Structure 1
Amino acid sequence: MTAGVILYSFYEISTIIIRIFTLCYIPQHHSPTTAMSWLLAIFLWPWPGFLLYAAFGSTALPRERAERHEAMLRALESGRAGVRKILDDESHWLPEELVRFGALGKKLGEMCITTGNSFDLIDREEDFLARLCGDIDEAEKTVHLLYYIFVKDEMTAPLFDSLEGAAKRGVECRLLVDALGSKVFLKKDAKKLKAAGVRVEKALPPKLFRRTATTARYDLRNHRKAAIIDGRIAYTGSHNVVDPSYGGKAGGRLWRDLTLRLTGPVVLQLQGVFTEDWYVETGEIPSVEKSFPRPLRTGQAVIQTVPSGPSYPWQNYQRLVVSALHGARRRVVITTPYLIPDDELIHALETAALAGVRLQLVIPERSDQ
Structure 2
Amino acid sequence: MSWPVTLFDFTLLALRVCLSVAVTLHVLRTKQNTAACAGWIGVSWLMPFCGALLYLMFGINRVRRLARRLASDHRWRGRGLAYQAQHRMKGDFEPLARMISKLTERPLLGGNSVTTLHDGDTIYPRMLEDIASAQVSVLLCSYIFRADRIGNQFVEALATAQARGVAVRVLVDGIGAGYFSCGIEKSLRRRGIVCQRFMHSLQPWKMPFINLRNHRKILIIDGRIGFMGGLNIGEENLRRLRTKHPVADTHFRLEGPVVHQLTEAFARDWSFTCGEQLDGETYFPDLERQGDIPMRVVTSGPDNDLEKIEFSMLQAIALSRRHVRLMTPYFLPNERLVSELCLAALRGVTIDIIVPKRSNHRLIDYARDASLAPFLKAGCHVWMSSPPFNHAKLLVVDEAWSFVGSSNIDARSLRLNFEINLEIYSESVAQELNAFMERHRTRRLTHHALDSISAVRKVRNASVRLFSPYL
Q: Same fold (TM over 0.5)?
A: yes
Kept in 2: contact 1:69–1:280 (CA 8 A): no
Structure 1 length-normalised TM: 0.86
Deviation at 1:306, TM superposition (A): 1.1
CA distance in 1, matches of 2:251, 2:341: 26
- CA 1:361 to 1:38, structure 2 compared with 1: closer, same or farther past 3 Å? farther
39-48 or 180-189: bigger deviation: 180-189
The Cα offsets for residues 116-165 of structure 1, whole Å up to 9 and x where unpaired, read as 21112222112111110000011111111011111121233322221111
Of 263, 278, 303, the match for 2:295: 303
Q: Which amino acid aligns with 2:40?
A: W
Would you say 1:261 and 2:253 are equivalent positions?
A: yes
Aligned to 2:43: 41
Aligned to 1:281: 273
Aligned to 1:51: 53
Deviation at 1:319, TM superposition (A): 1.2
Q: Secondary structure at 1:337's aligned position in 2?
A: coil
Structure 2 length-normalised TM: 0.68
Q: Percent identity?
A: 27
The Cα offsets for residues 288-329 of structure 1, whole Å up to 9 and x where unpaired, read as 112112122222222110111122254211211111121111
Q: Which amino acid aligns with 2:214?
A: N
198-207 or 217-226: bigger deviation: 198-207
126-135 or 181-190: bigger deviation: 181-190
- CA 1:6 to 1:325, structure 2 compared with 1: closer, same or farther past 3 Å? farther
Q: Secondary structure at 1:326's aligned position in 2?
A: helix
Deviation at 1:210, TM superposition (A): 4.3
- CA 1:155 to 1:209, structure 2 compared with 1: closer, same or farther past 3 Å? closer
- CA 1:253 to 1:70, structure 2 compared with 1: closer, same or farther past 3 Å? farther
Of 185, 199, 216, the match for 2:194: 199
Aligned to 1:158: 153
Aligned to 1:15: 16
Kept in 2: contact 1:102–1:304 (CA 8 A): no
CA distance in 2, matches of 1:365, 1:37: 34
Kept in 2: contact 1:121–1:260 (CA 8 A): yes
Q: Which amino acid aligns with 1:25?
A: H
RMSD: 2.7
Q: Secondary structure at 1:181's aligned position in 2?
A: coil
Q: Secondary structure at 1:359's aligned position in 2?
A: strand
Aligned to 1:87: 85
- CA 1:323 to 1:201, structure 2 compared with 1: closer, same or farther past 3 Å? same
- Can you give the 5+ residue segments of structure 2 that lack an aligned partner in the other structure? 364-471
CA distance in 2, matches of 1:313, 1:231: 23
How many residue pairs are counted as aligned between the two chains? 355
Deviation at 1:20, TM superposition (A): 3.3
Kept in 2: contact 1:332–1:358 (CA 8 A): yes
CA distance in 2, matches of 1:208, 1:54: 14
Kept in 2: contact 1:172–1:198 (CA 8 A): no
CA distance in 2, matches of 1:208, 1:344: 37
CA distance in 2, matches of 1:216, 1:170: 38
Would you say 1:103 and 2:98 are equivalent positions?
A: yes
CA distance in 2, matches of 1:40, 1:366: 37
- CA 1:58 to 1:98, structure 2 compared with 1: closer, same or farther past 3 Å? farther
- CA 1:5 to 1:318, structure 2 compared with 1: closer, same or farther past 3 Å? farther
Kept in 1: contact 2:145–2:184 (CA 8 A): no
